[in-house]
Amino acid sequence: MGDENLWLEDVLGDEALDWVRERNAVTAETLAAGEDFAETERLIREVLDSDAKIPPIAKAGDWFYNVWRDATHVRGLWRRTTLDSYRTDEPDWDVILDVDALAEAEDENWVWHGAKILRTGPLAFTRALVSLSRGGSDADVTREFDLTTRTFLEDGFVRPEAKGDVSWIDADTVFVATETGERSTTESGYPRIARRWRRGETLEDAEVVFEGAYEDLSVGAFHDRTPGFERDWVVRATSFYTSERYLLTEAEGDGADGVALTKLDVPDSAETSVKRDQMLVELRDDWTVDGTTYPAGALLAIGFSAFLDGARDFTVLFEPTPSSALAGYAFTAHRLVLDVMTDVRSRLEILTPPATPGGEWDRVAMHGAPELGTIQVAPVDADASDSVWMYTTDYLTPTTLSLVDLGPRGLNADPEPLKAMPTFFDAAGLVTEQHFATSADGTRVPYFVVRPADLAFDGTAPTLLYGYGGFEISLTPAYSGGMGRAWLTRGGVYVVANIRGGGEYGPGWHQAALREHRIRAYEDFAAVARDLADRRITSPAHLGAMGGSNGGLLAGNMLTQFPDLFGAIVIQVPLLDMQRYHLLLAGASWVAEYGDPESADRDFLATISPYHLFDASRPYPPVLFTTSTRDDRVHPGHARKMAARMLAAGKDVTYYENIEGGHGGAANNAQAAHMAALAYRFLAERLA
C-alpha cells in the first residue's frame, strides 16, 4: 500500500496545519463542548494549579531550589528557600527567575528545562546554566545566569537552540555537546561531538575532546566534582542500550597535546557509575570475567583504583530472582541505597562500602518506609551528606516527602515527614489489588486494579486499562489527583498492566519483548484485558485502553490487532508507522528497541505497524488520537496519518493536536488539563 498521507509529515506545512485546525475545531465543537467536559477540565486544572502540592526541592549550597507552576505562573517560578523555612506550612520563597515575565519580555514561548548551578570555586553558587525550550520541544537554549544580580550574563556562556547539554567544569570552563554545524549531530539528531569550552572562545573553536560516529546515538561529557575524586568523563552512546565510558585525562609525555581516553573494560550494555573510589556495574546481560559469570540484572562493586590496575574481583551487591529486580540505587556521601522491587513492590536497603580495599559491604534494611506502594529516594547532597529525600506513594495515598538521615552504618533515623500532597479525591470505598494474567506463551503478567470495594462484578464497570511496555521503564503505583477526580470518583475502574518490555522484573523482562519479540508485550496487554472480563470486573464494551509514546504504539496495536477486546481506545503522542519511524525526528535512536526498517527487520516490523495493519473493511472501536505539533521526539505525523487513513474509511475517530507541548503533549497546566480532560471524557462517553 502506498502512503497517501505523506504530506501530513510536513510538521509546519500550511496544508498540514489547516488539516490539524479543522480536526481540532471538530473536537472543540463535540467532545470538548459540553458541561461535563468543562467540569472535568476544571477538576484536573485545580489539581495541577494547587498551592498545596509538594514543591520538590534540590540543594545547592545553603539553599533549596524549586520550580513552581500554578494558575498565575503557568510557565513557572524558579525560587529557593532554606530547609528550616521549607519545614513550615508557608515557606518564605525567594524568587530567582519568573519564566512568565521572561517569556513576555523576550516575546518567546519559553518552557523551563532546568538549571545547573556552579558548585565549586570562588564563584560557587552564584552562577547557573539555565535551559529554556521554545514550546516544550526537546531542543533548548542554555544561557548563563547570575544568581546574585538575577540576570543573564550578556557575555556569558550561551548554547544556541539544539538538542544537547552543557555542564560546569569550573567558573570559566564547561563541557558542551551540541550542534555546531554540518555533521555535528548523529543520525538520531543528538550531539556527535563533545567539547571543552573556555570562557571567551567561540563555541566552534572550543577544544574537541571526543567525536563519535554518525551512526551513534549521542556523545556527552561531564565533570565529577566530588572533593578529592575530581574526574572528567566522556560517554559515547552507540545505541539506546549500549555505551562506552571513558576516563578523560590530559595527555602525558614530551610534546603531548590534548587529552587521553581510558575506556572502562566493562560490557557496553552495562550501566556504570563511579563514586569516590567505588565503581558500580549494573548488568543488562550475563557477563563472564576471570572465570566467574554474573547474571543479567546484577549490581557489582569494585574499588575503582584497583579496577584500573587490573583487578576484577567484583562484589555482588544485588542478584535478581524470578520475582525481584533492582529498580534503582542512590549514592550519598558514604552510603548506597538500593531500591529493590519484588512483584512491583518496593523495599530499600542501605549499604556501606568497606573501610579498606577488599572488605565486606555492610548491609541493613531501611526502617520507617511503608511496606506497600512505591518508594523513591534521592541524595540531599551527595558530596557532603548522608541524608536522602524519600518519596512514598500508592494509587490511593497522596505522595509524602520525608527527610531521612541514614546515620552510622546506615542505621537510619526515623523518616521526618516534610510535605504531603493533599487528598484531591475521596478514596473511601476504593480498594487496590494485584492480579496476574496468563499471556499467550504462559507467562504470568502482573497488573494492579483500583476499584470500588462494592463493585458489582457484573461486567458493566467502565474500566481504563493503561500500559507502556518498553525501554525497560516500570509502571509502579502512584497517586494521581487528576485521575482520581476525573475517573475513579465517577465510578470508573483503573487498571495498570506491568507487561513485558518494561523493567518490572529487570532486563530480562524488557528483552523478552524487544524487536521481533514485540508482539509479546501486546499479547500480555490483551491477556490482562481478557482476565478483567473473566473476573467480571468489566467487559469489552466497557473496557478502554490508553497509552502514550511507546504506549501509543501499544494502544495502536490493541486497536488494529485486538479490536474486539475494547470499547474505546486513547492513543497519545504515538509511534504508529513502523516502516518510516526511523526517518522521523528522533526515530533512528530507537532501532535497538524496535528494529531497523532498512534491513530484514522490516518484515517483523510490518507485523506491529498499526498504520499498515489497518484494514478499512474491518470494524474498530472508537479512537481518540492526541499529539503535539512541537513534539520533536515522536513526530506528530504518526497520529496525523493514522487518523486521516481511518477517517477516510469512515471510522469513528476523534483527533486533537496541541500546537505547543513537546513530547509531554502540554507546555503548561492549562494545556495539560485540557489534554487529560479530552481522554477521560472520551472514555466516559464511549464506555458508559
Q: Which residues are annotated as catalytic?
A: 549, 663
| Bridging pattern class, strands 165-170 and 158-162 | unpaired
Cell of 354: 568497606
Q: Provide the grid cell at 532.
A: 478483567
- Calculate the CA dihedral of residues 253, 256, 258, 262 and round it to 10 degrees: -30
Give buried/exposed letters for 400-426 (b at 16+ CB in 10 A, else e): bbbbbbbeeebebeebeebbebeebbe
8 Å CB contact between 319 and 282: no
Contact between 110 and 120 under an 8 Å Cβ cutoff? The reply is: no
How far are the Cα atoms of 94, 223, 433, 483, 543 from residue 462, in angstroms, in the given order? 46, 51, 17, 14, 6
Phi then psi for residue 326, to 5 deg, are -85, 115
SS3 25: helix
Q: Which of 585, 622, 674, 629 is nearest to 19 (CA)?
A: 629
Dmax over CA atoms of the chain, in Å, equals 82
> What is the β-pairing status of strands 493-497 and 543-548?
unpaired
Beta bridge partners of 405: 387
In DSSP terms, which residues pair with 141 in a beta bridge? 132
Distances, alpha carbon 71 to alpha carbons 49, 76, 479, in Å: 5, 10, 21
Name the β-bridge partners of 300: 281, 316
* Torsion over CA: 564, 570, 576, 582 (sign): negative
Give the DSSP per-residue string, 306-342: HHHTT----EEEE--BTTEEEEEEEE-SS-EEEEEEE
Mapped onto helix, strand or coil, the DSSP state of residue 510 is: helix
- In a 13 Å sphere around the CA of 274, the CA atoms on its Cβ side amount to 25
User: What is the distance of C-alpha 174 from the center of its chain?
Assistant: 26
Residue with cell 514550546: 135
Strand 430-438 to 63-68 pairing: unpaired
